[in-house]
Amino acid sequence: MAQGICVFAENYHGKLEPAAAELVTAAQLIRETTGEDISAVVMAKDCDAIVDELTCLGVNKIYVVKTEKDILLQDDAGSQILADMLKVIEPSSVLIPATPVGRSLFSRVAMKLECGLTADCTELLVGTREDGSYYIKQNKPSFGENVFVTIVTKEGCYPQMMTVRPGVYTMPEMQEASAEVIYMNDIKVPDSQIEVLEVLPSEDETDSILSAEVVVVGGRGAVENDNFELVKQFADKIGAAIGGTRPMVDSELIPFDHQIGQTGYTIRPRICISLGVSGAIQHTEGLKDTKLFVAINTDEHAAIYNVADYGMVADLREVLENYLAL
């Protein structure tokens, strides 16, 4: 009988990822209802620091497979190890950080165990079936963030596996070290077809507005009163590419190919900060799928607030000057 909540202790360079620690909090909330034990699975070359940190987070058991090299990018081998571990642990649920590593490894695990995997949950709730057994209601956004859906793993399918969006749960409070640590030395580390050749520091590439992850979009308000110099400093500070609506292009502050809207191009940055943009639809149609969209405008009726996540009715000069002083 599947029992227990299991957390995937994703790690990088020998340290536990904060996103994994947050999942212990999510597991504790589930435990309040189900009373299940919480375990963590660790798969790494340098396990000691990770295990030490986990023991203080309030998990009951820590299952460890020590590998000769870091294996998180070798998802062919890594997923086999994880599947073997879960077969022994037999948890009722597995919580995984919704990260590239998490979804890549556990997609394969899900296929091996034929158990399903729900992606990018932002809320986990416990439901109770008629027979008194528990299940997890996995809430996740869909179609951007326009709607949310509740997904459940069908009855009898175990473990219930889900990736959880980083930042949704807070880190658990540190406790006295208490967890039982189990080294699973019988589990074999298979060969991988994937090899890490080199790790280099990444450079920020914000040349192309089309591929930029962070974008600052200036409208007419960014052209007035020499505000553009401030906008530029702000963009530099947050590592953003600068786009703009036609007033900025017409004032020759930015090149034509950084114009947002009315050109047919759509940009899809993760973060967009719009400064003094009124929000005509041609501009917002040129901008889609943002995860964070903050609009600053002096006009409290600006249409941009219909598409932004957060709005600030303020003089952009005042906000930016303060930001640069932070």
Partner 1 sequence: MFEKRKVGKVMEKKKIGIIGGGISGTCLGYHLSLYDNAEVVVFEKDTVGGASTAKSAGTVCLFDDSLRNRYWDVRLYGFESYLKMEAEEKGSAGFDKTGTLVVATNEAVEATIKTGIALTKAAGYTGEYITDKDRIKEILPDISTENILGAGYTQDDGFFDGTMISNTYAKKMQKNGGTLKTGVKVTEIKVDNNKVTGLKTSEGEDYEFDYVVDCTGPWSKFTGEMVGMDVPIWHTKAEAFFLSPPGKKLDYTFPVLKYPEFYGLRAGDNIFICKSHLSMDLNNPMHAGQWDPDKLPATGGTDDYFIDFLLEQLEMKVPGIVDSGLVSSWLSYRAEPKDFLPLLGETPMEGYMLATGYGGNGVIEAPAASRDLAKLIMRGESTPLLEDWAFKRLLG
Partner 2 sequence: MNIAVLIKQVPVSNDVSVDPKTHALVRASSEGMINPADLNAIEEAMVLKEQTEGKVVVFTMGPPDAEKALRDAMALGCDESCLITDRQVAGGDTIATAKVLAEAIKMYGQFDIILSGALSADGATGQVGAMVAERLGLPHVSEIQSIKYDENLAGKIEVVKKMHEDKIRVGCTLPAVVSVNFGSNTPRLATLRTKRAAKSKPLVTYTNAELALPADQVGIAGSPTEVIDSFEPENGRKAQMLTGSGAELAQMLKNLIDEEKGKV
How far is Cα 275 from Cα 284, in angstroms, rounded to an integer? 13
Q: Is 211 in the site for partner 1 (CB under 8 A)?
A: no
* Residue 208 Cβ vs partner 1, minimum distance, rounded to whole Å: 13
Q: Is 115 in the site for partner 2 (CB under 8 A)?
A: yes
Residue placing its CB nearer to partner 2 in the complex, 53 or 55: 53
Residue in 19, 12, 272 with CA at minimum distance from that of residue 121: 19
* Residue 24 Cβ vs partner 2, minimum distance, rounded to whole Å: 17
* Residue 82 Cβ vs partner 2, minimum distance, rounded to whole Å: 12
Residue 246 binds which entry of partner 1, partner 2, none, CB below 5-8 Å type-dependent: partner 1
Q: Which stretch binds partner 2 (CB under 8 A): 1-9, 27-35, 60-68, 145-153?
A: 145-153
How far is Cα 316 from Cα 222, in angstroms, rounded to an integer? 8
Residue 229 binds which entry of partner 2, partner 1, none, CB below 5-8 Å type-dependent: none
What are the backbone angles phi and psi of residue 17, rounded to the nearest 5°?
Answer: -75, 135
Q: Are 177 and 212 in contact (CB under 8 A)?
A: no
Among 257, 309, 318, 321, binds partner 1 (CB under 8 A): 257
According to DSSP, residue 234 is labeled: H
Q: Chain centroid to CA 45: how far? A: 24
Among 34, 55, 92, 153, binds partner 2 (CB under 8 A): 153
How far is Cα 274 from Cα 254, in angstroms, rounded to an integer? 15
What are the backbone angles phi and psi of residue 324, rounded to the nearest 5°?
Answer: -65, -25
Q: Which stretch binds partner 2 (CB under 8 A): 47-55, 56-64, 88-96, 138-146?
A: 138-146
Q: Is 171 in the site for partner 2 (CB under 8 A)?
A: no
**How many beta carbons lie within 10 A of that of residue 298, not counting itself?**
14
Max Cα-Cα span within the chain: 69
Q: What own/partner pairs with CB < 8 Å and gap ≥ 24 does 138-143 have?
A: 138/162
Token couple for 103: 């979804």
- CA distances (Å), origin 90, targets 15, 55, 161: 26, 21, 12
Among 58, 97, 172, 286, binds partner 2 (CB under 8 A): 97
Judged by CB under 8 A, the chain residues 263 through 282 that form the site for partner 1 are 263-266, 278-282
Categorise residue 259: left if φ over 0, alpha if ψ from -120 to 50, beta otherwise: beta
Q: Are 81 and 103 in contact (CB under 8 A)?
A: no
Q: Is 313 in the site for partner 1 (CB under 8 A)?
A: no
Strand, coil or helix: 172: coil
Among 2, 126, 151, 303, binds partner 1 (CB under 8 A): 303
Residue 230 binds which entry of partner 1, partner 2, none, CB below 5-8 Å type-dependent: none
Residue placing its CB nearer to partner 2 in the complex, 55 or 93: 93
Q: Is 225 in the site for partner 1 (CB under 8 A)?
A: no
Q: Are 44 and 71 in contact (CB under 8 A)?
A: yes
Residue 9 binds which entry of partner 2, partner 1, none, CB below 5-8 Å type-dependent: none
Among 16, 65, 215, 249, binds partner 1 (CB under 8 A): 249
The neighbouring-strand residues paired with 92 are none
Token couple for 235: 């963009």
Q: Is 306 in the site for partner 2 (CB under 8 A)?
A: yes
Residue placing its CB nearer to partner 1 in the complex, 240 or 307: 307
Q: Which stretch binds partner 2 (CB under 8 A): 43-51, 57-65, 172-180, 188-196?
A: 188-196
Q: Which chain residues interact with partner 1 by CB under 8 A?
A: 220, 246-247, 249-250, 256-257, 259, 262-266, 278-282, 285, 301, 303, 306
